[in-house]
Amino acid sequence: MPHRHSDRAVEGAPPLLEALGIVKRFGKLVANEIDQFTVDAGKIVALLGENGAGKSTLAKILYGYYAPDAGDINLNGKLVRIKSPRDARALGIGMVFQNFTLIPTMSVFDNVALFLHDLPVVVPRAEILRRIRDYAERFHLTVDPWRLAGQLAVGDQQKVEILKELLAGARVLILDEPTKVLAPQESEGLFRTLAELRAEGFGIVLITHKLREVLAVADRITVMRHGRIAGVVDGRDATEQVLLALMFGEGAASASSAAPVAPTHQDWGEPALELIRVSTTDVEGRVPLNAISLRVGSGEIVGIAGVSGNGQRELGDVVLGLLQAHTGAKLLWGEDATRWPVAKVREKGVAEIPDDPLSLACVPGLTVRENLALGSGGRYALRLGVDWPRCDADMQRSFARLGFARPDFATRAAILSGGNLQRVVLARELAHEPQLIVALYPTRGLDARSTTAVRALFRAARDRGAAVLLVSEDLDELFELSDRLVVMFRGGIAAALAPKDFHAESVAPFMVGAHEQADAA
Amino acid sequence: MLRDGATLWHYAMRARAFALVAGIALGVFAALLIAAGKNPVRAYADTLIYVFGNAYGFSELLVRMTPLLLTAIAAALPARIGLINVGAEGQLYMGAWLTTGGALTLMDLPAFLLLPVLTVLGFVGGGLWALIPGMLRGLRLVNETISTLLLNYVAPLIVSYFIFGPWRSPESSSYPQSPAFVDAARLPTFFHSRVHFGLVLALAALALFSWAMTRTRFGLDIRAIGGNAEAARRLGIPVVGYMLVVMFIAGGIAGLAGMAEVTAIQGRLVGELSPGYGYVGFLVSWLAGTRASGIVLMSFVFALISSVGDILQITQGVPYAVVDILLAVILFIVLGRGLSLNY
């Protein structure tokens, strides 16, 4: 089979992986219409695009997860048929999904071994272990092979995902939004790994919508828009402006640049939320809170910084009333709310945007419309039913105010992309001018434009007198939005900072617990 | 409109799946009959003639359908909230038990008072019985699948104790059963057949179930809990409260089946009240994908299958137990497909 020559011909060797004329439709929606997408050995290709631009679809086609309606895939210049992920793996194409696929109750070693397609009946433990150690050292993927996968931090789980792909013989590695779940320093580690892989001739596809990462690491940037390739830019020539223009069309680039910082408020209004030495019990799988005292005033954004898993989710749960304080008290607008049920807390005007909308805030089996009506208490009660026209109208208004494209309310939530689901949750939670917004990583998984919109929204909420408790791992986001910053570490408050101390250097030591070591010394 | 096309396609797929299951099941069963030296064509023809050929046969089909409809709802309603209630059998017995208690103590009441009271008692009997596993689940002590199943073995023993002991009829000392109910405690029947008012109750319950699930806030909350209990909790929906109410109502509906059996069919409490209606009802609900229309269709199919057993026993001399084989084949195929017909 002669391989098709294209603009690659000058370099002689065919690309490692090449997709030509790929078309994929879901019903009437054209998810992908790709003329050419290539991955070269020893190169990092960034696949950039807004939520729903078709990046994940293309990746899933390359990995054999979806069958394309038309098009060819060539591997080293040879036409291949990839009918399943199994085929893809056998051909040396590996993929690390957004949601990891490790078995939590098995060790790292077992997870890796399980993934090897040519595993003999008697597992050659020493051999596999040697290879794990070898790869781990070469690519900065060191992780204890005997730890249970479920006990690992997210960053280490990702290392295991990459390790198992490498051991299974992957030459092309597709990573779907790999930094979405990582803390900044973990992202650095990932990029070191990718650089090593590139040096050894692996082909890497990095799916992301974070411009900064793309500009930092990619050799070539393929920008997708509406299922098509909007442009291919060489990594050296790329600028933020060029990429934004390709992502959103001309004229969008200027709109997404950072909004001016809001005026700093000096005197906060009445306290909306007060936590007074709140501690929670040590339940398995939860970080116990340790004497948290916190005050969020009306018209104030209080940022919570910290590496995730240091009690942020528990803090949110305490405010919402899901988790009871063992000792201490919680006041909402001056009233003792320590024992209020969730429904009452929400009724009083508390909105929550949890960190994982799919599993914590949505019911995938229900329609978007039904999801939007959930948790509204009796607001849309119409006799025994729901006043759907009124609910729809409110939600349409909320989508419009947020500047989000409105999904078809009749579709099931399960088929929405992660970013769109996040928008549904935001539209619902912010529809009724909440007086206290508890937001956990609200812009994680959103593209640049939606991120800007959400941040503007928090500012607007603050300016109309709402209190905002913003948990984030993105320090820039926290610095930009917060009026005060609190750093959490191991369930306690490590530091409270004023805007003059908003620098990574002053926050980082508290995030990793360096202050405690210093105290002890 | 796109949705109409999708709906049509959806029904076509379900009809196809249904035809496939029915075809394979009837085929395997036919092979079995041939192996036993019987003529399957003859057997199926006999069944059709018996059931649809005369009013009596058809009325008996409706009589069989009634408890299946009720026990299927008893499984379908908890399924919507994410609970697996395999205890309709026991709930049916306890509904019958409490109904009997009422019928034997309140026999002086006129029918227009007594029957509503007995209906409520049947509902409450089954409901409270189902509330036990509901509470165990709510307190996170025992999984409801296990507790509802185990309680199925307890309920008939309670009934046995009463018909062997306190309620044993003095007239029939050789056979353990309660005294016959007074006429005022007998549920009305229609058309000079055994078709009874329980069928009306069952259809009303089914309509109410369907309406509540699709049209009320409670249905929305229940489906939300079933779809993602964690999200529901975060949204302030009282998850445990809903679970308790749902289990009570589901048990109550199964209890109505027991009430109808003793007041309409048996006229007294007997030990062998149900030939496994609760279990078949669970199967019906599951095959129907917990949908009301599917429950009607599947109850009809299973009532037909149990008629097959009766008829084969009479015309071909095959024991009734062969029906269990047919049921097992159907269950096996459906499990093997890894799906219910609900897609």
Q: How far apart are CA B326 and CA B334, in angstroms?
A: 12
User: Hey, of A286, A374, A421, which one would you mutate to test binding to chain B, going by the most B CBs within 10 A of its CB?
Assistant: A374
**Residue B299 carries which side chain, given as an amino acid letter?**
S
* pLDDT value of position A254: 42
- What does the DSSP assignment read for A62-110? HTTSS--SEEEEEETTEEE---SHHHHHHTTEEEE-SS----TTSBHHH
- Reading the block at residue B132, the tokens are 């036990």
A359 touches chain B (CB under 8 A): yes
The alpha-carbon gap from B6 to the nearest alpha carbon of chain A, in Å, equals 10
Phi-psi region of A357 (alpha: psi -120 to 50; beta: other; left: phi over 0): alpha
Sequence-distant contacts of A85-89: CB under 8 A, at least 24 apart: A86/A117, A88/A62, A88/A63, A88/A64, A89/A117, A89/A168, A89/A169, A89/A170
- Considering chain B, what percentage of its residues have pLDDT values greater than 90? 40
Q: How far apart are CA A417 and CA A53, in angstroms?
A: 10
The alpha-carbon gap from A285 to the nearest alpha carbon of chain B, in Å, equals 15
According to CATH, where is 3.40.50.300 located in chain A? 7-98+171-255, 271-520
For residue B72, pLDDT over 90 is answered with: yes
* pLDDT value of position A269: 60
* pLDDT value of position A6: 43
* pLDDT value of position B341: 45
Q: Print the SS3 string covering A17-52.
A: EEEEEEEEEECCEEEEEEEEEEECCCEEEEEEECCC
How would residue B81 be classed by pLDDT, with cut points 50, 70 and 90?
Answer: very high
Phi-psi region of B131 (alpha: psi -120 to 50; beta: other; left: phi over 0): alpha
Class of the CATH-defined domain A271-520: alpha beta
Tell me the average pLDDT across B50-77: 90
Please identify which residue in the block is written with the tokens 């078949």: B280
For residue B211, pLDDT over 70 is answered with: yes
Q: Print the SS3 string covering A149-186.
A: HHHCCHHHHHHHHHHHHHHCCCCEEEEECCCCCCCHHH
Q: How far apart are CA A58 and CA A227, in angstroms?
A: 9
Q: What is the ipTM of this complex?
A: 0.76
Tell me the average pLDDT across B240-253: 95
Q: What are phi and psi of B161, to 5 degrees?
A: -55, -45
Q: Enumerate the β-bridge partners of residue A22.
A: A34
Q: What are phi and psi of A234, to 5 degrees?
A: -70, 140
Higher pLDDT, residue B68 or B184: B68
Question: A24: closest CA among A73, A64, A58?
Answer: A58
Report the residue from A342, A381, A410 with minimal CB separation from B236. Answer: A342
* pLDDT value of position A398: 87
Q: How far apart are CA B326 and CA B21, in angstroms?
A: 12
A387 touches chain B (CB under 8 A): no
CATH topology of domain A7-98+171-255: Rossmann fold (3.40.50)
Q: Are B178 and B104 in contact (CB under 8 A)?
A: yes
User: Could you tell me which chain B residue has the CA closest to the CA of A346?
Assistant: B236
A91-117 tens-digit pLDDT: 899 998 877 788 888 888 888 888 887
Q: Enumerate the β-bridge partners of residue A94.
A: A173
Low-confidence residues in chain A, pLDDT < 50: 1-10, 251-267, 517-521
Please identify which residue in the block is written with the tokens 């790869």: A135
Residue A213: helix, strand or coil by DSSP? helix
User: Could you tell me which chain B residue has the CA closest to the CA of A383?
Assistant: B216
* pLDDT value of position A3: 44
B139-152 tens-digit pLDDT: 888 889 899 999 99
B2 contacts in chain A (CB < 8 Å): 27-28
- What does the DSSP assignment read for B244-260? HHHHHHHHHHHHHHHHH
Q: Are A242 and A233 in contact (CB under 8 A)?
A: yes
B3 contacts in chain A (CB < 8 Å): 410
Cα–Cα distance list, A104 to A78, A107, A150, A288 (Å): 38, 8, 4, 22
In terms of pTM, does the model score above 0.90?
Answer: no
Tell me the average pLDDT across B154-165: 92
Q: Do B236 and A373 touch (CB under 8 A)?
A: no
A346 contacts in chain B (CB < 8 Å): 235-236
Q: Do A374 and B235 touch (CB under 8 A)?
A: yes
CB pairs under 8 A between A and B: 76
A366 contacts in chain B (CB < 8 Å): 220, 223-224, 227
Domains annotated for chain B, with CATH where assigned, are: 9-337 (1.10.3470)
